Amino acid sequence: MSRARDLSERSYKAGATTLSDLLTVDRQLLSAKEELDDAKARAARAAVALFRALGGGWTPEGAGEPSGLVMNGSGVARN
């Protein structure tokens, strides 16, 4: 979509298209970027919800786990 915007700007500067056309492409690009950001945010929230639904949690090392296990840096539980 950024390429389409660049081409539209070149066309505008060359006098081949109107400012209105350039602004339409800008609006479409912004809308596409917002949709992508929204999709990424939804995916992140879904990943967190899945992790929680599967019983996941996080405790800093040294704070202790209820079972007496602590996760090390590689995600392996140790006593």
Q: Place 79 in a pLDDT band, splitting at 50, 70 and 90.
A: very low
What total number of domains does the chain contain? 1
Average pLDDT, the chain: 83
pLDDT in tens, 23-47: 999 999 999 999 999 999 999 999 9
Total Cβ atoms within 10 A of residue 25: 19
Q: Which residues contact 25 (CB under 8 A, 6 or more apart)?
A: 4, 5, 8
Q: Domain range holding 60?
A: 2-78
pLDDT in tens, 38-78: 999 999 999 999 988 888 766 666 655 555 555 565 555 55
